[in-house]
Structure 1
């Protein structure tokens, strides 16, 4: 998957085990992966270097995923237009709706199999899955 090497994914989740799980799958598939512990750290990283795709958790300290997405969509391009995949334990229709309203492009419920993660990330990055 040589075409994935130029795609940078920012994983935003306060759980180190979850970040590691996503990183392992995505790097094995050829993506470049960076991590942030919460929305505040993610915005700082994006201002320094935009990503091609964001993987966002909902429940995080300092700035949760919904607040982060709202803040992200208020930024100037190209940051405001970075696609966001929300992956959360929150599984209700109101949770999905809140994420989409805040600016999520797609929503998955944890746990997510590594092959499913890579498939969604590939599609959202415009690559063949």
Structure 2
């Protein structure tokens, strides 16, 4: 897939290793990847550049993933319609429900296997393998 045709994904996580891992997986899947450390940075980025997908951590400093997602979903189109894959170490039904209520398209529990992350990301981008 050429760089021009590569879907742009924003990975938002405060953990450097997680961002590096997600970047590698998504780039190997044909995506162009940007990174943010928290929801505040992510909001600034989505207002400046179009993204095809957001991969969000829940627990982050400054602005957590669900607060960011609720704020994003109140914005104007097309920003509010960006698909969001939310990730967390929290595996309870209440955690999944909270993510859905905030506007998540999908909630996955960490750690994420490479194939699962790539497959779900590409599906949300409309580019199934």
Report the TM-score range of the alignment, normalised by the length of the smaller protein. Answer: over 0.9
TM-score by length of structure 2 reads 0.96
Aligned length: 129
* TM-align CA RMSD: 1.4
Instruction: Map residues 59-98 of structure 1 onto 2, 5 A cutoff.
Output: 59-98=59-98
Within 1, Cα distance between the matches of 2:18 and 2:115?
Answer: 15
- What stretches of structure 1 of length at least 5 have no aligned partner? none
Partner of 2:36: 36
Are 2:27 and 1:27 equivalent residues in the alignment?
yes
8 Å CA contact 1:4–1:29 kept in 2: the answer is no
Contact 2:3/2:32, CA 8 A, preserved across alignment:
no
After the TM superposition, list the runs of 4 or more consecutive aligned residues in structure 1 that deviate by more than 6 angstroms.
Answer: none
Matched, 1:13 2:13: yes
Q: Scaled by the length of structure 1, what TM-score is found?
A: 0.96
Provide Cα deviations, 1:2-53, integer angstroms capped at 9, x if missing partner: 5994200000000000000000111112100000000000000000002100
Structure 1 79/86 Cα, relative in aligned 2: closer, same or farther at 3 Å?
same
Structure 2 unaligned runs (5+)?
none
